[in-house]
Structure formats: structure tokens, C-alpha cells
Chain A
Amino acid sequence: MGRFVLRRLLQAVPTVFGILVLTFILTRLSPSDPLDFLIGGVSDMTPEQREALRETLGLNQPLPLQFVDWLGHAIRLDFGKSYFYQRPAAQLIFERIPNSLQLSLAALVLSLVVGVPLGVLAALKRGGKVDHAIRLFSVLGHAIPAFWFGLLVVLIAGVQFRVLPIGSMNTLGREGDLIDRLWHLVGPVLTLALAGIANYPRYLRTEVLEILGQDYVRTARSKGLREPMVIVGHVVKNALLPIVTLLGGLLTLFISGAVVIEQVFTWPGLGRLLFEATLQKDYPVVQASVLAASGLLVLSYILRDIAYAWVDPRIRFR
């Protein structure tokens, strides 16, 4: 297992390097002068001053050299100070990551808790009304744009019926209150989890149907095991194995989707930080938040693979 983890970590190195290259190249491919990003909004400069600054910042050097220089800073998580907040960008990022994680992890738990039973139910009631209803819901859940669903939640539950808060993480003056936080989580988590809830039944249904035809299920039944025990102990347990691979796709969805959902519910996470930074032309924060989100994603891919190898020993020796 240790070897597998090590190998998987090594595999991530080129990916991380590629992401760093991509992030750097985007700044230099941009039609705007990179100097404008770096000085952030200072406009009253003579051309001589600009050239002098270009020299000091190393922007007149060849691109590979610039990249190495930039990489040195990026690896030390030094992205410079936010122009807007006047604080190190890395610090802002680390403040926002827990907020985003709360959202994604809660959405993940919700999609498992609701999605898995739905999938098993659909397979057991194969061809019946319940199966069709779950199928319809599953397709619909994929087709509805998450941010629109979020807007509907805000509009109907927040504005018209006033049963849910319409945004942010806490009611003013109730920061740190767990009940209040949970209350504010309902809307965004439900919205984010919708795609996940729609996702699981599709895969789980096929999986469960396949397992129901296996010999060991017949054996379990013929030795007199009661049906609920067969389903839970033999069928569901084995069906859950490949579901672990789905986690990766869901985390992509949750981390990427967070940009819009956090915007709809004004949730102060990583996505909202990036969104605000693009509006404020806050170059250091833009870079830092993209890299942070990518880091989270790559990390979650690694964790998924390790989890998969852990539950299914065959993977380790591939």
C-alpha cells in the first residue's frame, strides 16, 4: 500500500508542473501588458518609470527565466500582496478554503446518503414506477443548471416564503453559532448536491443489477439468509466498491461548481474569492485562487485513487 501511495504521489508531479506552466503561460499570452497586472492599478507612470520597473521585476528577461523565477515564488506560496485587501494572497486563500470544503464535503455526504439508496431502490424495483421516477429524476438532475436551481431556491425559499436565508454564512451577529451555520448551509448544499444525487442512482442501479445475478447472491439466498440481509450485506457492500471512483468526478463538480453556487448564495469560499478578484483586477489573488483550487482537485484525485486501492486490493498491483 505504501508503494502505491508513493507511486500515485509521483504521478501527480508532472500534472502539478503542467498546471503551474498553464497558469504562468496564461498571464503571458494575455494581450494586456503583464506589467499592468503586477503594478495593479497604478496608472500615473511615465514610460521611463515603467521601463525601469520592468527591469526590476525581471519582465525583460527571456520567458523561461521568468518562469523559473515565478515558480520559485509559487512553490513558496508567495503570490504577493492582494491589491484590494493589502494582505498576502496566500493568507486569504487559507481563510477561504475551509468555507469551500464545508460546502463540498456536506454536498458529498448528502449525495451519498440520498443517491445510494435511490440507486439500490431503482435496481430492486427494476422496470416499475419507482424505477422510472428515479430515472427521470436522475436525468433531470443532470440537465438542470445548478446555478439556476440555486436561484430558484433563493427565489422561492428565500424571497417568497422566507423559510431559508438568502445568502452568506451566518446571520449578522450570530457568527460561530452552529445551528445558524447549518441553516445557511441548507440552500447551497442542496444545490451543489443535486448533480451528485442525480449521478449515483445511474451507476449504482447497473452495478446492483449485475451483482444480483451473481452466484454468491444465489448462495446467500439459498442458505436461508433473509432478503434485507442479502441486499445490505452482499449486494450493496459489493456495489459500493466502484462507486468510489465516482467520487473524483463529483469532487470536480463540487469544486468547479462552487464558483457559481458560492456566487448565487454569496458564500465566502474560494470561488467567490476568485470571482471578486477578477472584478477587482486583483492579479495575485486570481493566480493564488486558481492554483489553490487546482491543488485541491489534484489532491482529491489522489485521495480517491488511494481510497480505491484501499477498498479494492487488486488495484494496488496493477
Chain B
Amino acid sequence: MAGSAAALDPAAVTVVPRRIQAGFWSDALWRVRHDPTTIAAMVTLGVLVLVAVSADLLADQVFHVGYQQQDLFNQYRKPSLDEPAWWFGSDQLGRSVFVRLLYGGRVSMFIGTAGAAVAVLIGLSVGLTAGYFRGWWDDVVVWLVSTIDGVPRLFLLLTIGFYFRLGPVELTLFLGGLTWLGVANITRGQTFSLREREFVVAARSIGASPVRVMLRHIAPNVLPLIVVVAMIDVAMIILTESALSYLGFGVQPPVPSWGNMLSGASQHLSRGPWLVYAPGVAITLTVLCLYVIGDGLRDALDPRLRGQR
């Protein structure tokens, strides 16, 4: 699959003859660069991330208010263009919705990315070892996956929130710890078939250790798929975190997250309807970008799916 896979793909050869000599990853990059939808999503997401990351700077220099700063003379201010801080209005305590949105984005994006990293790490190691060694360990993994899959996600998280007090770090770990199933399933399935392939058998026959076979020969072949799943996992975790924070079990106030901003907004529907719009649009936009990028990457990375559109 890796290496000169693109050169062997007859569709790729006829469509883009000058890419014959390209390697797998550079070919993928080339394909992404020629996919306007994916590029647009990447640019949008890039702007969102940049703005969220520089929340401190922007709050200080442009908006001149912090995310906790209350202004009781300016409660329920409608969105207006007068002052940057009131672009998206103010909430029941007179806090700037725009500034809170920036900080909330930072929290939500961090949890999404870190959670997905945890999920990929667990999923990859579990999937590789289960698929490679099989036997009792594989049975345990299958049992574990079916068990965690059998408990509705939000029910489980709510129960965990009941038994434990979750800070942002614990929240990230738990969200990641419940999201690895997808990566593990894919890795396991791929490893099953890859371990019988000639290049793996060859590596084993010259005495490569299991760890080396898994990391050097199997993992690189699974990686393209994992990249796509990781993108979708980030989106899923952001969605789950927002739902959990909306219920009051995720990120705790005063730290804003998009989810707990909506939780506040839902209590002030008649006085401040605009409070509902901004955080929801922010979540939707971020998740939408991630899905579109995931889709684009899958088309670019998986030679079998090319040309199906």
C-alpha cells in the first residue's frame, strides 16, 4: 500500500500522468492541494484555531475585557457593532459573549485534540497487539470493546461524572478513554490481514522482533486510515464534551466552554435569545470543518476510494 501504490493505481495514472513517480504521502498531499472543499475547510479551521489560541492576546488588546469580567450595567446587551466586546452581545452577568467564545473555543479544541490523541494512542497499541498476537489477548480486547460499546456513551459519562469530580484533565482522559474503540477496531482488522502478507513474513523470517514488525512494518500501513479516524474522533469528542458541559458535568464554570455557555443560555431563552446562537454556530463550524477535512483526507489517502466521487 505504501511506497509506489499510487503508481500502480491505473486510475491515478490516467488522470494525473505526471504523478507517476510520486511517493504515497506526497501524492496524498498533491491530491489534498487540488481539492478546494478540503482546502477551504482547512483554512477555516486554521483561522478558528488561531483565534482560539490567541484568546489571551485578543481579549487584552482588542476587546479589553477578560472572560470573567462582569459588567452589571450591561446585562443582556444585544449584539451590536459599537464596541468589539459587544459584537455578539453580553450575557446575564454582562460578560462579553465574544471573549467567552474565544476562551471556550480554546478549552473545547484542547479537550478534543488531546482526547483524540489519547484515543489514538490507546487504540493503536491495543489494536496492533490484539491483531498481531491474537489468542487470549485478542479475546479480552473484543470483550472490552463490546462491553464499552454496550453502555450508551452519555449515560456512562454522566455516571462517571456522578462518582468522580472531573477537572479538564480527567475529562480529557475519560473522553479519550471511551473513544479509542474505533481506532482499535480498524487497526486490529488491518493487522489481522497485514500480518499474513509477504513483507511481514519476510521481516519475521530474518528475525525482526514483534515490536519492530508492528511499528516498522504494520503501523505505517494502518496510519493513513488512522489519520482519518482521528479527525472524526476530534469532532466526536468536541460534540460529546459540549453535550456533557451543557448538562453541567463537563467543563465547570467559571471556565467557559461552548457547551456550558449553551447551558447558561438555555436558562435565559426569553431575555437573551442571541446567547443561544454563537456557541452553537462555533461548535457546528468546527465539527463541520473536521468532518470535511476527514472526508478529503480519506479520498486522498485511500487509493481504493479514489475516483468514486
Q: What residues make up the interface of A, taking CB atoms closer than 8 Å to B?
A: 14-16, 18-19, 21-23, 26-27, 29-32, 139-140, 142-148, 151-152, 154-155, 159-160, 252, 255-257, 259-260, 263-264, 271, 274-275, 278, 286, 289-290, 293-294, 297-298, 301
Contact = CB atoms under 8 A, between A and B. Distances in A.
Contacts of A18: 143-144, 146-147, 150
Interface residues of B, number: 45
Interface stretch (B19-27, B45-53, B129-137, B280-288): B280-288
A278 B280 contact: no
B152 interface: yes
Contacts of B284: 140, 143-145, 148
A31 B152 contact: no
Contacts of B146: 14-15, 18
Given A15-B146, A26-B159, A160 B273 contact: yes
Contacts of B242: 145, 147-148
B163 A145 contact: no
Contact of B247 (A16, A19, A260): A260
A26 B283 contact: no
Nearest to B285: A143
A148 B283 contact: yes
Contacts of B109: none
Given A143-B284, A143-B288, A264 B147 contact: no
Interface in B267-282: 269-270, 273, 276, 279-280
Given A18-B147, A152-B280, A257 B154 contact: yes
Dominant SS among interface residues on chain A = helix
Contact of B151 (A143, A159, A260, A290): A290
A19 B291 CA distance: 31
A294 B152 contact: yes
A140 B288 contact: yes
B158 interface: yes
B13 interface: no
Interface in B226-270: 235, 239, 242-243, 246-247, 249, 262, 265-266, 269-270
